[in-house]
Copies of this chain bind each other. A is one copy, B any other.
Amino acid sequence: MSYTYKYPRPALTVDTVVFGLDVDNNKWLVLLVERGGEPFKGKWAIPGGFVNVGESVDDAALRELEEECGVKKVFIEQLYTFGAPDRDPREHVVSVAYLVLVNIKDQQIIAGSDASRAEWFPVKSLPKLAFDHQKILAMAKKRLQGKIRYDPLGFELLPKKFTLTQLQNLYETILDTPLDKRNFRKKVQAQGILRDLGEIQKNVTHRAAKLYSFDKRAYRKVVKSGGHFSF
């Protein structure tokens, strides 16, 4: 079976930049898949695939994520569309890139899937990537770094229950800069969007920290009343 059109069409794909955080070692991670076929066979790439006709581009991104890496129920947001005609050596392929954030602990189900292997890499030491994926990834990094300051995205990378130190480590890791502990805590707590769970860490070899969760409800209230988040 085949499909014919009056004018030629570029192919349309989605690519999903999936970020995670190694909370214990403070490493910013990205999920890559090894390409099983040409071109760039054996090279690492951002997961992605073709958009089906009749399927929204957003849905295609979600579908590919699940098919290729078993990733489900995640934060996803459109990043940018890459449309240079030579970005794929075979033909003109336009790709809509997405930024995806996951809590690694929830997603240990990764890797096993399709033909291709999936693996987490530290953003700071990446292999050479296929296509223009280096460029896409660079943009995704910049976007996250920019947006995390004024949008409570970061929580997507943490477990549901987290300590203030973990939250601070997250910001320090993504922004690649040290932050003052007291100032950080004051500022975060002043926002009124953390719920103190009344629980503490278990199995730590030192004073146990209080556990918090992100209070989405409170956050929406803040936004509605004209306020806004800023880490």
A2 cross-chain contacts in B, Cβ below 8 A: 4-6
Residues of B within 8 A of A55 (CB): 85
Given contacts A4-B3, A81-B78, A85-B56, contact A10 B92 (CB under 8 A): no
Number of interface residues of A (CB under 8 A): 32
**A178 at interface, CB cutoff 8 A:** no
A153 contacts chain B at the CB level, 8 A cutoff: no
Residues from chain B with Cβ under 8 Å of A94 in the complex: 12, 51, 57, 96
Residue A11 is within 8 A (CB to CB) of chain B in the complex? yes
Does more than half of chain A's interface fall in helix, strand or loop, or is it mixed?
Answer: loop
Asked if A84 lies at the interface with its beta carbon under 8 angstroms from chain B, I say yes
By a CB distance below 8 angstroms, the chain B residues around A84 are: 56-57
B50 lies within 8 A of A7 (CB): yes
Question: CB distance A3 to B12 under 8 Å?
Answer: no
Q: Which of B4, B9, B52 contacts A11 (CB 8 A)?
A: B9
CA distance in complex: A84, B54 (Å): 8
In whole angstroms, what is the CA distance A2 to B4 when docked? 6
Contact of A4 among B4, B51, B92 (CB under 8 A): B4
